[in-house]
Amino acid sequence: MKISIIGTGYVGLVTGSCFAELGNKVICADNDAAKIKGLKKGIIPIYEPGLKELVIKNTRKKRLKFSASISEAVRSSDIIFIAVGTPSSDTGEADLTGIENVARNIALNMNSYKLIVEKSTVPVETGLWVKRTISTYIRKKVRFDVVSNPEFLREGSAIADFMHPDRVVIGAESKLARDLMLELYKPLKSHVVVTDIKSAELIKHASNSFLAAKISFINAIARICDKVGADITEVAYGMGLDKRIGPGFLNAGIGYGGSCFPKDLDAFIHISEKIGYDFKLLKNVREINSQQQQLLLHKLKEHLWILKDKFIGVLGVSFKPDTDDIRNAPSIDIVNYLEKEGAHIRLYDPSAMPKAKKLLKKVHFCQDAYSAARGSDCLLILTEWDEFKSLDLTKIRGLLRRPLIVDGRNMFKPQDMQKKGFTYVSIGRPVVLGR
């Protein structure tokens, strides 16, 4: 099929490359000419495992093209995915200016039947607005359909998530639209949920909110564990074996971050309020999440006492492993706070340092975890990169000024750390004291 993807951000680029890999002719379009120029040369603006290879392979096979002309992309394709950003405004409301602009542009360039697919995460009823906008600005008398097809890609595993989804959600109004979407996703042999547009839009918001609620729930239980001396990993394991609960998203830590959960929750709370429902549960989820960072800092202070002029080695700055994304990463607030208190930060992250350097001007960036530990009063773990699991902890202990590890991601077993001589502080698990 001839597809164009408008918006070459995270979602657009992964979606476009994967559809090309499935054999479609894809144009990824964006009005950022510099970005498009880079992409044409195989320069990928984000770090996502496997994406660069996919882009290069499909560009060579002439299935994937990049264009700075949205109009041209619209004219030469049958299916148009809208994958532009929907950032949060100050009130938490999703800013849909980008969506409206694209809808208008599509309307002005419509030369034959087009299927317009809403891929960006948008508030319920956006589909309706896209349809109205196109109908208002359309010049020629051509048919079109709008469908909602929310994405559920996780950063770090986006390509695998696209190729092997738990489900594909299609919200459509006409048979033609439904059939085209089913045909497009047929190679994935996935479970497909076909529904109306509004329900599809809500599936996305409800899913992300539910996952965020699961994280805040386990973080709240971790606080209880801290108070009574229980172990959150044992509690989560026992809970997760119940098929109705499931083991995923029960890792306690410093809270969720990233480009989706915080923004989507704000937007969902805002929409609910607008339609007359005070979604207190989600407000609580958000509050618990923001408290997790304070909790970590409190734990740190309990052991370091004064932060001024202490050296703190920080491992991890991305909002989760396998990505260089630092948007809404809890680590940023934590590092800023430590610096405000006068601590000196030595930070190492396997991939997010170039982005972090632009934001954290005073931090000393290190070439590896050992350099971050050297001469530090404490090692603070903020992202659970696999690489950290295989660190030579005996070496780390020798490099630290004092053997203190504060782990915001529960990466290690407290008993093992005690055997290695560390004072090891984690989330919702008993503190072990080193010698």
State the nearest-atom distance from the C-beta of 154 to ligand UDX, in Å: 4
350 closest CA partner among 379, 375, 377, 325: 325
> Which tokens hold the place of 217?
């729930």
Long-range contacts of 299-306 (CB under 8 A, 24+ apart): 299/406, 299/425, 300/378, 300/380, 300/406, 300/425, 302/425, 303/378, 303/404, 303/406, 303/423, 303/425, 304/377, 304/378, 304/404
State the nearest-atom distance from the C-beta of 293 to ligand UDX, in Å: 12
**Which C-beta is closer to ligand UDX: that of 110 or that of 296?**
296
Rounded to the nearest 5 degrees, what angle is found at the Cα of 259, between the Cα atoms of 94 and 14?
A: 105
**Which C-beta is closer to ligand UDX: that of 12 or that of 253?**
253
State the nearest-atom distance from the C-beta of 153 to ligand UDX, in Å: 5
Cα–Cα distance, 390 to 227 (Å, whole number):
31
Rounded to the nearest 5 degrees, what angle is found at the Cα of 236, between the Cα atoms of 304 and 203?
A: 110
Element (H, E) at 277: none
Using left for φ > 0, alpha for ψ between -120 and 50, and beta otherwise, residue 277 falls in beta
**Which C-beta is closer to ligand UDX: that of 16 or that of 403?**
16
State the nearest-atom distance from the C-beta of 243 to ligand UDX, in Å: 18
**Which C-beta is closer to ligand UDX: that of 326 or that of 345?**
326
State the nearest-atom distance from the C-beta of 320 to ligand UDX, in Å: 4
**Which C-beta is closer to ligand UDX: that of 59 or that of 331?**
331
- Confirm if 382 and 254 have CB atoms less than 8 A apart: yes
Give residue 428's identity as a one-letter amino acid code. Answer: G
**Which C-beta is closer to ligand UDX: that of 23 or that of 238?**
238
Sign of CA dihedral 293, 298, 300, 301: positive
378 closest CA partner among 318, 301, 432: 301
Cα–Cα distance, 347 to 369 (Å, whole number):
8
**Which C-beta is closer to ligand UDX: that of 56 or that of 230?**
230
> Which tokens hold the place of 186?
């047929």
State the nearest-atom distance from the C-beta of 214 to ligand UDX, in Å: 7
CB burial of 84-94 (b: ≥16 within 10 Å; e: otherwise) equals bbbebeeebbb
- Confirm if 382 and 330 have CB atoms less than 8 A apart: yes
Catalytic option among 225, 260, 366, 378: 260
State the nearest-atom distance from the C-beta of 88 to ligand UDX, in Å: 14
Beta-ladder partners of 145: 115
Residue 331 vs residues 97, 254, 337, 418: alpha-carbon distances, Å: 30, 8, 10, 25
State the nearest-atom distance from the C-beta of 342 to ligand UDX, in Å: 27
Is 378 noted as a catalytic residue in this protein? no
107 closest CA partner among 80, 134, 82: 134
> Which tokens hold the place of 281?
């549960």
10 closest CA partner among 156, 134, 131: 156
State the nearest-atom distance from the C-beta of 36 to ligand UDX, in Å: 24
**Which C-beta is closer to ligand UDX: that of 129 or that of 249?**
249
**Which C-beta is closer to ligand UDX: that of 67 or that of 323?**
323
Binding site for ligand UDX (CB under 6 A): 151-155, 208, 211, 215, 249-251, 253, 256-258, 260-261, 319-320
- Helix, strand or coil, per DSSP, at residue 192: strand
The set of catalytic residues is 260
